[in-house]
């Protein structure tokens, strides 16, 4: 393997760790502080910014670096590469769902507060989808 490939692979793995690790950490922060009556809106907005400026670019860079590595050394027909592409798409779908839930939570929290049933249902949806305690 060439030095360029290994350097690209290093950045690909580093980006994956940072983007996916941040995503997992944000779910935990959301569950601990997202319903706080005073700090909840700030936490939800901060999570949204972190996702927009760090996690989403990380997912995009993961795809780009992965495609460059495939182009350098592997055929697209390799089964593990196809499986990785499916996993990337599933992760992106999960991120889109997370952002939709986050947006709903912020809107409800700012307009009606954390104790209303609608906010609790949106939070429950987040728990059912991401299962942060499991």
pLDDT tens profile 9-52: 999 999 999 988 888 888 788 778 777 777 888 888 899 899 98
Query: Collapsing DSSP states into helix, strand and coil, what is residue 45?
Result: helix
> Percentage of the chain surpassing pLDDT 90?
32
Check pLDDT > 60 for residue 132.
no
Total number of domains constituting the chain: 1
**What domain range includes position 90?**
3-130
* Tokens 């409800």 belong to residue: 108
Query: Collapsing DSSP states into helix, strand and coil, what is residue 28?
Result: helix
């Amino acid at each position: 393997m060439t030095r360029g490939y290994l350097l690209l692979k290093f950045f690909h793995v580093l980006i994956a760790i940072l983007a996916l690790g941040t995503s997992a950490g944000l779910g935990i922060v959301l569950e601990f502080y997202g319903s706080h009556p005073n700090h909840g809106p700030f936490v939800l907005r901060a999570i949204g910014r972190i996702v927009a400026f760090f996690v989403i670019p990380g997912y995009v860079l993961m795809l780009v670096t992965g495609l460059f590595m495939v182009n350098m050394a592997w055929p697209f027909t390799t089964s593990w590469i196809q499986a990785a592409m499916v996993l990337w798409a599933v992760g992106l779908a999960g991120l889109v769902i997370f952002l939709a839930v986050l947006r709903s939570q912020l809107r409800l929290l700012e307009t009606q507060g954390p104790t209303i049933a609608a906010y609790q249902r949106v939070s429950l949806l987040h728990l059912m989808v991401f299962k942060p305690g499991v």
